[in-house]
Chains A and B, each alone.
Chain A
Amino acid sequence: MSKPITLITGTRKGIGKFLVEHYIGKGHIVIGCSRGDIDWQLDNYEHFTLDVVDEKKVKKMFSSVRKKYGRVDNLINNAGIASMNHSLLTPVSTVQKVLNTNVVGTFLFCREAAKLMKKTKYGRMVNFTTVAVPLKLEGEAAYVASKAGVKSLTEVLSREYAEYNVTVNTIGPVPIETDLIRAVPADKIQNLLDRQAIQRFGSFEDVVNVIDFYLKPESAFITGQTLYLGGV
């Protein structure tokens, strides 16, 4: 069997980079992207430097993937940005940036990947939401709105793409010690952890475990679902 082709967004660092290493370790060919250049290289990994909302560049990337590999089996929409501030202190430009990267970026990658997956009648897409959505976390209005958008987007796409045998699911991680939450005060994070059934930070492995499950060929009957970590 040929190697699975897996596309991951936001791979420069953090969970994205971890996912690259994980799936290369599992024998996938991984294509990744990030806004900034990367300072690392791996066999079976190809990188594109682009912003996930740049439609022209994203389409070009998919065109190149199509010409080289002829298909995409898995898409992991990991790229995302956060804004953590009281709404009264949040500029509209920040809200637009967060919505753009998180919702529009996810939409664009799903749309372009679906065009390839439709042809092969197989595909797995995983999008990222957050436990901050069901927890209605104050101080994260723009981020939570964008991630609620990703969840709804996933639910609709799961229905639109079902006839192509493409599943679309969402994972909702709890806080993980990455750059995304570095600027958040410790007491705020603790308040959030206290609202989980299992009160600890999430790990990259916790996230990978869920994504592995969604990507399994046996998960063909799992679509439009959101799985929250930590018992939220």
Chain B
Amino acid sequence: MKDKIVKIIIAAANELNEEEEISVSEELSLSTRLFGENGVLDSMGLVSLVVAVEQAIDEELDASVSLADEKALSQKNSPYRTVETLAEYAEKLIQEA
């Protein structure tokens, strides 16, 4: 499941990049820092990615999750730190749904 979600996140990011909603020059991987220190996304880029990933999870995994999280700005606990933490967070929410 996690691998699938990682693929979804990377595909969503690539699509947003093409649409110029975000600007990420490097190839995304599991450990890519998304948001926060050295993150590839600014805050509006993060908003775009979170929404795109939610929609892609709905379409591809037929699961409705809300990836909104109040710990977004926390360096330590934010689920948006890396591709991997976001995937793990989404996986947990899907399992709980």
Contacts and interface: CB of A to CB of B under 8 A. Distances in A.
Interface of A: 55-56, 59-60, 63, 66-67, 115, 118, 163
User: Secondary structure at chain B's binding surface: helix, strand, loop or mixed?
Assistant: helix
A196 B64 CA distance: 46
Given A115-B51, A118-B51, A55 B58 contact: no
16 contacts: A55-B66, A56-B64, A59-B64, A59-B66, A60-B64, A63-B58, A63-B64, A66-B55, A66-B58, A67-B59, A115-B51, A115-B54, A115-B55, A118-B48, A118-B51, A163-B44
Interface residues of B, number: 9
A56 to B, nearest CB: 7
Nearest to B54: A115
A55 B31 CA distance: 31
Nearest to B58: A63
Nearest to A160: B47
Contacts of A118: 48, 51
Interface of B: 44, 48, 51, 54-55, 58-59, 64, 66
10 A-B pairs with the lowest CB-CB distances in the bound complex, closest first: A59-B64, A115-B51, A63-B58, A63-B64, A60-B64, A118-B51, A59-B66, A55-B66, A56-B64, A66-B55
A66 B54 CA distance: 12
A57 to B, nearest CB: 10
Contacts of B54: 115
A63 B48 CA distance: 17
A63 B51 CA distance: 12
Nearest to B59: A67
A73 B55 CA distance: 18
A55 B54 CA distance: 14
Contacts of B48: 118
Nearest to B19: A119
Candidate in A55, A60, A115, A163 with the most chain B CB atoms within 10 angstroms: A115
Contacts of B55: 66, 115
Nearest to B52: A119
Residue among B44, B48, B58, B59 with max Cβ neighbours from chain A (10 Å): B58
A55 B59 CA distance: 18
A60 B51 CA distance: 15
A76 B6 CA distance: 36
A219 B54 CA distance: 30
A172 to B, nearest CB: 29
Nearest to B21: A118
A55 B97 CA distance: 12
Nearest to B97: A56
A115 B58 CA distance: 13
